[in-house]
Chain A
Amino acid sequence: MPTLTIDNRRIEVPEGTKVIEAAEALGIMIPRFCYHRALGSVGACRVCAVKIVDGTRKGVQMSCMLDVEEGMVVSTDDPEAVAMRRHVIEWLMLHHPHDCPVCDEGGHCLLQDMTVSGGHGLRRYLGNKRTHLDQYLGPRIQHEMNRCIQCYRCVRYYREFSGYRDLGVTGIGNRVYFGREREGTLENPFSGNLIDICPTGVFTDKPARYFGRRWDLQRGPSVCIHCSLGCSVTVGARYREVARVEARYAKAVNGHFICDRGRWGFPYTNEASRPRAARVDGEATTVGEACAAARNRLLHVAETAGSEAVACLGSERAGLETLKAVAGICRANGWADPLFWLERRARENVAAAVSLLGDDLVLSLRELEAADCVLVFGADPLGEAPMAALALRQARRQGAPVFVFDPRPVELPLDFHHVPLAIEDLPECIRSLVGAAGDRETARGADPTVRSFTDQLAEPSVPPPPEAVAALRTSRRPAVVCGTDVTDAAAIGLAADFAALMKAQGRRAGLFYLMPGANGFGAALAGTEAASLEELLPRIEGGEIRALVAVEADPLGLYPDRGRIEAAMRKLDLLVVLDYLDTDSAAAADVFLPSTTVFETGGTWINQEGRIQIVRGAHRGGIPVSQTGGGGHPPRVFMEEVPGGQAAASGQTLTRLSPAEVKGASEWVRLPPDTDKQSGTRAVLPDPSALRFAPERTALSGAAGDEAMLTVIAVDRTFGTEVLSSRSPWLSAEETAPTVWMHPEEAGRVPLSDGDLLEIDAGGGSLVLPVKIVENMARRTLVIPRHRDAAWQRLGATRLRIERDCIRKAQPVGENAPVKESPPR
């Protein structure tokens, strides 16, 4: 490790460190425009000039391009270096429009900072300014090319880092232009990072435009809750309105970036339709009154039908405090076991994943990037956890081959091998790969279950793909990624065995599960004895359960059998709903209590790798000023209380309405003592030993081969299916149209051509959707997005087997005709 001297201070840094990074480690921030930690050094802007006083190459040098050397002596404040840096700023300002007052970057603009700190105040250049026209790049990103300083960060990020191809640099000399071939929405679901990465105001957050300078915003660190990865974000709010979300650097999770779902998924918190007031029997009232009403009615049900007649349902989108309060209220009152899941398969899958994700196997998103071979089982990363797709791309860029075993038409911004197998064949496929990866000898050091399992690896019925076998053979750092959405516990268990086996072989193997919701992991931990609504439903239908408290959960809107759940809800004497969304369940509630969002009261979420992340609220909330302003006239009524400020965290409200005393919600979450509350995140894996769920490893081999049967799966997509972000008006244009995907062979058997309507008679009724025929998916499989307009709740389950004669071509008329346009929100 070379030791060098920078501005008379010595530092020892690893070989290969750039001078600019060594200086940063000393707290010396050398100016930079083109250099970016995630994108590396390219030496384009020349603003990082320093003077090398001693070293192989002396004189003024670019600190981002120069590797440190033993004994090197660097001066950052040498007059020649300072003059050079000032000159670069002057050059970059030659064509700059000086429009800081109307530029949304103003206040957090690197160019502004450098211009001011570099002391460039007077224009010397007498020539004209070059002027560009801007492009329309869609509803989310504003383009102002004249502010560009040609650092090339945007194209490097867009093309190399994230792997999309519709942004480029055209022209030459001082006429280079960064944009698209023609106007239109950027195709990259990670395009929002352009806003963060552009050091000046070329790409700015369009919905947040002109809303406020950065210093005007109430800003706070937060965590994205639009999928299970839990990327770090910074929230900015003003006038009781969340205005924007930016990526926040998190070393182990998302690095510097987030996905567009995470960046623009927040409008649910500002919605005019957000229920702000408590309601009893449809009448607005105070939270206190409503709590009292709920408490009395719950007490009444318990007294008349027994305490077991009350059930409480949470969901994987709620914070840990809420989930623990759900568990706590059930225990304190002797109610039925707490519910956190709608479907049994979801409950079992996540329980399996959580109990198998050992400390020694778990990979962080960042570690996934370092894998040298990645096997993805039953997961569509872009749809279920978008940033995982970006991590896979980084692994691929380092040379790792990526194999995806999934029935869906999976798309990724990288070249990968897709094996579109039937979902039922997945366990057998994993089994075959385990067999190819090693034998009992190599499994010696592994878990006993793995060992005994390895013994059974006789002859897999599905031969493993030879490329994957070859890649596995030489891999030192293999990673197994496994979904829990469309898969089953057998596949989830086998994926863990596979990783454990490779670990036992002495490799640095790792395991990475994707989970439903932002807090699926937390839900699994909170409800060790919990059941799912699906398992409880017969007791509602049978009249045993008479009251349901739904906490940040929407059984009516999300249970996969709409008809059945509606009937069941009608049977209840009492439905109490706590939520911040105007869900179907909220509308049907006898007692409704408004709760707060993550932006207001924060909470604790556990991501899919078991990382506890504590979030604090960024603002107090309430009805946005833009909605209370009363139109064109100034306010005529002044009051002390915050309009819409009655909402409270669900966990708190639960303790208020509980007939029996529930301990404070905060006590339900025991954090490890060394949790870093300041940064809000800490890598710990809560001990999942309380939850020992041993999935059956037997494979359902041959099931998929049944020609008379079809498998239907309702799936998550990048946009339009996740509960919160699908309410964002800025993402709606990117939603996947509600269609059913089919393999051409399957379509040919009906027969159907692209765009034809298909009628599916499933467990929950019949639904009609246009067909999209795609080659790169499994046969005997129908894939439907869980889009609000897809009527997927008529399927009866999110994964089911149907007889082939349950599908037929439909005519484009009648009440089942699909709704093409989503209703305006």
Chain B
Amino acid sequence: MLPADLREKLERTIETADHPRELAVDVMMALQEHYGHLSDEAVAEAAQLLDMSEVEIDELATFYTFIYREPVGRYVIHVCDSLICWMDGYEKLRDHLARKLNIAMGGTTDDGLFTLLPVCCVGYCDRSPAMLVNRRVHGNLTPEKVDAILDGLRESARSADETSSG
């Protein structure tokens, strides 16, 4: 169930729009933020909020790269595999991540923290190889830098959990 405040917030935004469906991507992103991924329930919520049918929502959801229709980890790591990053060691970077996280491309770690996915050129070719973590870019990557990023993410997940449970 969508929390009442989020629903209200979305309803308010939708009310101001001339055409509710123009907010489809924003609404899907907001629901994804809440549910972790765009679950079937979220698709139904989006459809209801935007006065669209569920398949009309899914037509959009399944088109875009950054809408996840399957469960993903807390941190979604998209590794750039387009030309410049690929020339600059994408495969090594991918293998390093896969080894460190013990998952293959497309997989999610057992602890639900990380999902590993490829992505097309993210527009940081001047800092190749690059990857995104929850849509934040990290460039000029080296194995050491990747390790530090992963450690940092684990750390922030831990402290966030502690504050929320404590």
Q: Is the CB of B53 within 8 A of A166?
A: yes
Task: List, in ascending order, chain A residues with CB within 8 A of B55's CB.
Answer: 165-168, 170, 180-181
Shortest Cβ distance from A138 into chain B, in angstroms? 15
Interface residues of B, dominant DSSP: helix
Shortest Cβ distance from B124 into chain A, in angstroms? 23
Q: Is the CB of B63 within 8 A of A168?
A: no
Interface residues of A, dominant DSSP: loop
Map CB proximity to B onto A167-206 as digits: 1 under 8 Å, 0 otherwise: 1111110000000111000000000000000000000000
Q: Is the CB of A170 within 8 A of B59?
A: yes
Task: List, in ascending order, chain B residues with CB within 8 A of A165's CB.
Answer: 52-53, 55-56
Given A181-B43, A181-B58, are A172 and B53 also a contact pair (CB < 8 Å)? no
- Additional A-B contacts beyond A168-B58, A170-B62, A171-B63 (8; CB < 8 A): A166-B55, A169-B59, A170-B59, A170-B61, A180-B55, A181-B53, A181-B54, A181-B58
Task: List, in ascending order, chain A residues with CB within 8 A of B54's CB.
Answer: 181-182
Chain A interface, number of residues (Cβ within 8 angstroms): 11
CA distance A171 to B43 in the complex (A): 15
Q: Is the CB of B58 within 8 A of A172?
A: no
Task: List A residues at the B interface (Cβ < 8 Å).
Answer: 165-172, 180-182
Task: List, in ascending order, chain B residues with CB within 8 A of A180's CB.
Answer: 55
Task: List B residues at the A interface (Cβ < 8 Å).
Answer: 43, 52-56, 58-59, 61-63
Select from chain B the residue with minimum beta-carbon distance to A155: B59
How many inter-chain contacts with C-beta < 8 Å in the A-B complex? Answer: 30
Task: List, in ascending order, chain B residues with CB within 8 A of A170's CB.
Answer: 55, 58-59, 61-63
Provide 10 A-B residue pairs closer than 8 Å at the C-beta atoms, listed in order of the A residue: A166-B53, A168-B55, A168-B58, A168-B59, A170-B55, A170-B59, A170-B62, A171-B63, A181-B53, A182-B54
Q: Is the CB of B56 within 8 A of A172?
A: no
CA distance A607 to B127 in the complex (A): 73
CA distance A165 to B56 in the complex (A): 7
CA distance A191 to B117 in the complex (A): 39
Task: List, in ascending order, chain A residues with CB within 8 A of B63's CB.
Answer: 170-172
Q: Is the CB of B53 within 8 A of A171?
A: no
9 interchain residue pairs of minimum CB distance: A168-B55, A165-B53, A181-B54, A181-B55, A170-B62, A168-B59, A171-B62, A172-B63, A170-B58
Most buried by B among A166, A172, A181, A182: A181
Task: List, in ascending order, chain B residues with CB within 8 A of A168's CB.
Answer: 53, 55-56, 58-59
Task: List, in ascending order, chain A residues with CB within 8 A of B58's CB.
Answer: 168, 170, 181
CA distance A182 to B44 in the complex (A): 12
Shortest Cβ distance from B63 into chain A, in angstroms? 5
Q: Is the CB of B62 within 8 A of A172?
A: yes
Task: List, in ascending order, chain A residues with CB within 8 A of B53's CB.
Answer: 165-166, 168, 181
Select from chain A the residue with minimum beta-carbon distance to B61: A170
Select from chain A the residue with minimum beta-carbon distance to B62: A170
CA distance A165 to B57 in the complex (A): 11
Most buried by A among B54, B56, B59: B59
CA distance A170 to B56 in the complex (A): 9
CA distance A170 to B53 in the complex (A): 13
Task: List, in ascending order, chain A residues with CB within 8 A of B61's CB.
Answer: 170
Shortest Cβ distance from A758 into chain B, in angstroms? 31
Task: List, in ascending order, chain A residues with CB within 8 A of B59's CB.
Answer: 168-170
Shortest Cβ distance from A130 into chain B, in angstroms? 15
Shortest Cβ distance from B10 into chain A, in angstroms? 20
Shortest Cβ distance from B57 into chain A, in angstroms? 8
CA distance A172 to B58 in the complex (A): 11
Shortest Cβ distance from A351 into chain B, in angstroms? 44
CA distance A181 to B47 in the complex (A): 11
Shortest Cβ distance from A576 into chain B, in angstroms? 53
Task: List, in ascending order, chain B residues with CB within 8 A of A166's CB.
Answer: 53, 55
